[in-house]
Amino acid sequence: MLLRLAALVSALACVASAQQPLRAQAAVESDRVYVGQAFGLQIKVSGSDSPQPPNMSPLMADFSYEDAGGGANNSQSITIINGRMTRTVDEGYTFNYQLTPKRAGVLAIPSLTIQAGSQTARTQPMRIQALPPSEIEDFKLRQELSAKRIYLGQPVMLTTTWYIGRNVDQFNFQVPVLEDPRFESFDPKHNAPPAANSDYFDAPVNDTRVTARKGRGTIDGFSFVTVTFEKLLAPRQAGKIELPAATVAFRARASMRRSPSLFDDFFSGGMFGTRTTFESFAIPSNRPVLEVLPLPEQGRPADFSGLIGQFAFEASATPTDVNVGDPITLTVRVSGPEYLDLARLPNFLTQGRLTADFKVPDDMAPGEMQGRSKVFTQTIRARTARAAEVPPLEFNFFDPEKGEYVTAATAPIPLTVHGSRIVTAADAEGLGPAGSAQTAIESQQGGIAQNYEALDALRNRSIGLLDTLRSPLWLLVLFGPPLAFVGLWSWTALRRRADDPRQKAVAEASARLESLLAEPGSQDRFADELMERLRAYLGARLELPPGALTFADVRGPLAARGLEPSALDDLRAVFEACEASRYAGGVLGADSAASVRDKTRRALAAIEKTLGGGR
């Protein structure tokens, strides 16, 4: 009996472990999709539960892609044959991506390389059929421009409207003109949605999200529910430009068309939908033509501001009763054209009459939208008490209605500037006027001999350097003036810094960003909030409009100012992680959130160190 038990224990101790070599296999959700329609790509890896992500750059010519997450997929099994136990361990990992075709035709998904430790595996190549979008009766997509004929650099509003005839879900817009190098594109800031308005929502457009609104519209005699969003375009070249067609890919309920109601939850019974049968579609828009005229050379000012439209300028200053050198906040309010988002004023250093009597900083704070106006602020300081007013500020612009350049001026702003009072000897002597003493001369009976002492009363009072340094009076005389100067200089620098609107904007944006990074956990909407605050900080630091900042927008300015490549890599990773998380509801997992926080902190510290304003 004991021998049989010993044999069994010996057999169980003989455990063979088998591990698979590294393999990778790819699969697509569908091999027949529409241009602009996202579909799933899954890569299953066996032989490792911690492989490196594949390099997706070979796909970028024909596809845009997003990381849809992944995870380990491990299993193990035990078999006993003739008393010998074998344990098989299957390690695996699954990568998930969303691919979106950029063009029609047969598109290749090349073999992708997976690496884990010293092992390498490759997926099999695949092909998919990308169908061109085609318009159908129940759905229409339209692009409209606010003007058909503009001048180079003049902003124009592009309005994209999707007409919806039945319930839809999983939709995605592709608007190529927003990435067209012939245009700059911006979010119109005056179109911010009202608070708690259920008609506004975030719609996926290209690789980001924009604010869209629900409504109703009629086209071809039929009533539709509509989804509308707007973008500002500023042309970079002259000529006739046909805008590329936009597309929207979506799933629609397989049912007969019915007349929708504005109050109908047309997103399949809500954004999360109800269980029903859906079909996939992709429809194109029209292709509007924009004529862009070059600005005339005749009459063009040498210092042309680049402003195009009919503008009005209003200036104000506060305070108006100051001493020489005191800060004065100069505010210029610009109004006129409907789209002021892109308006920029030239630096006030170009105002010759202003710089004659006032000190003007080299940097100028970016303007901010206030209603239908754009407001610019600058801190100036009077150089002399003769500065009785802030002189008229002149700004030029091109009036497209008149077809000519115009110069406008603000009204002068009266000031009271007090000079520094000169302290004289009379002030040091006393309150009365300095003059000769009128006391009568009296004869001293003791004569001059009264001032003599005996020789034995005289003592040697030699004074050396150490004696001088021991005297508080001499220490005050020697070191007081330099210390006072350093203190005054430091106080003045701090005051100027505090009064600079640009520095205030940078400080406020930095504080908001750091407060978010300090919050623990992976709170809901963290990625969206981080993206908003990071854009606000970079916009203030680089004097760029923050609304639609991407990594491509800030990479050049940051690199030009000497930001190290590792910090740029951290910043790019933060942008990519936040953009990817938008399709997961703005939520990052705990590990991802911690990594994004660390990279944001490193990038922020490097930017502050390189661009100034120390931390």
Give the pLDDT confidence of 303-339 residue by residue, as tens digits: 888 899 999 999 999 999 999 999 999 999 999 888 8
**Closest to 391 (Cα-Cα) out of 349, 345, 352:** 352
If you average pLDDT over residues 452-460, what whole number do you get? Answer: 50
DSSP, collapsed to helix, strand or coil, labels residue 61 as: coil
pLDDT of residue 515: 84
Distance CA 504, CA 537 (A): 11
Q: Is the pLDDT of residue 438 over 50?
A: no
Is pLDDT above 60 for 273?
no
Name residue 189's amino acid.
K
The mean pLDDT of the chain is 80
CA angle 340, 176, 29 (to 5 degrees): 135
User: Within a 10 A sphere around the Cβ of 34, how many other Cβ atoms?
Assistant: 25
Least confident of 116-120, 263-267, 370-374, 540-544: 263-267
Average confidence (pLDDT) over 32-53: 90
Pairing of strands 312-318, 63-72: unpaired
From 187, 171, 373, select the one nearest 282 (Cα to Cα): 171
Question: Of the ranges 19-23, 99-103, 242-246, which one carries the lowest mean pLDDT score?
Answer: 19-23
Encode pLDDT of 378-416 as tens digits: 999 999 999 999 999 999 999 999 999 999 999 999 999
Distance CA 595, CA 589 (A): 10
Express as a percent the part of the chain with pLDDT over 90.
37
Range 17-21 average pLDDT: 60
Could you tell me the pLDDT band of residue 295, with boundaries at 50, 70 and 90?
very high
Whether 37 has a pLDDT exceeding 90, the answer reads no
Contact in structure between 74 and 80 (CB atoms under 8 Å): no
Among 131-135, 273-277, 332-336, where is mean pLDDT lowest? Answer: 273-277
Calculate the CA 422 to chain-centre distance: 50
- Which residues make Cβ contacts (< 8 Å) with residue 412, sequence separation at least 6? 389, 390, 391, 392
600: burial class by Cβ within 10 Å (0-12, 13-18, 19+)?
buried
The amino acid at residue 504 is K
Q: Is the pLDDT of residue 275 over 70?
A: no
Total Cβ atoms within 10 A of residue 378: 23
Tokens 């506060």 found at: 318
- Tracing tokens 């980001």 back to the chain, one arrives at 208
Residue 465, CA distances (Å) to 429, 473, 474 in order: 31, 14, 10
518 Cβ contact list (under 8 Å, min separation 6)? none
115 φ, ψ to 5°? -125, 135
Phi, psi angle pair for 418, to nearest 5°? -95, 130
What is the structure's pLDDT at 391? 94
* H-type alpha helices, 309-419: 352-357
pTM of the model: 0.54
Upstream peptide bond of 244 is cis (omega within 30 degrees of 0) = no
> Do 246 and 229 touch, CB atoms closer than 8 A?
no
Which of 8-12, 74-78, 164-168 has the highest average model confidence (pLDDT)?
164-168
Q: How far is CA 268 from the centre of its chain?
A: 34
Q: What is the pLDDT of residue 112?
A: 95
Whether the pLDDT of residue 67 is over 50: the answer is yes
Residue type, 298: Q
Q: Which of 218-222, 488-492, 535-539 has the lowest mean pLDDT?
A: 488-492
Residue 446 pLDDT > 70, yes or no? no
Contact at 8 Å (CB) between 95 and 45? yes
Residue 558 in 3-state DSSP? helix
What is the structure's pLDDT at 5? 47
